[in-house]
Amino acid sequence: MRITPELRKRCNMYGSMAISNFVALPKNGEEVRIVGRPMTRSGTSVESEELIAIFTTIVHQLRSNLNS
């Protein structure tokens, strides 16, 4: 199972939009920091979560093939 170019592009666009939204927030205020950082973190972790899921699947398949 591989990440398709379309999914990679969509994940990249989503992360870019999250960063753009964070940059557009006003720079003062505690609420901006409270909301902005988690929003940016979650927006940029989408593709990494997908890669971890794929890697885990591959390792599981490899282990099951070696045990049989």
Nearest alpha-carbon partner for 14 in 53, 60, 57, 45: 45
Indicate the DSSP class of residue 4. Answer: -
Global pTM?
Answer: 0.54
Q: What is the model's pLDDT at position 20?
A: 84
- Paired tokens of 41: 């973190």
pLDDT tens-digit profile of 1-55? 566 788 778 877 887 888 888 888 887 878 777 877 787 777 767 666 777 777 7
Q: What is the model's pLDDT at position 45?
A: 73
- Paired tokens of 44: 């940029």
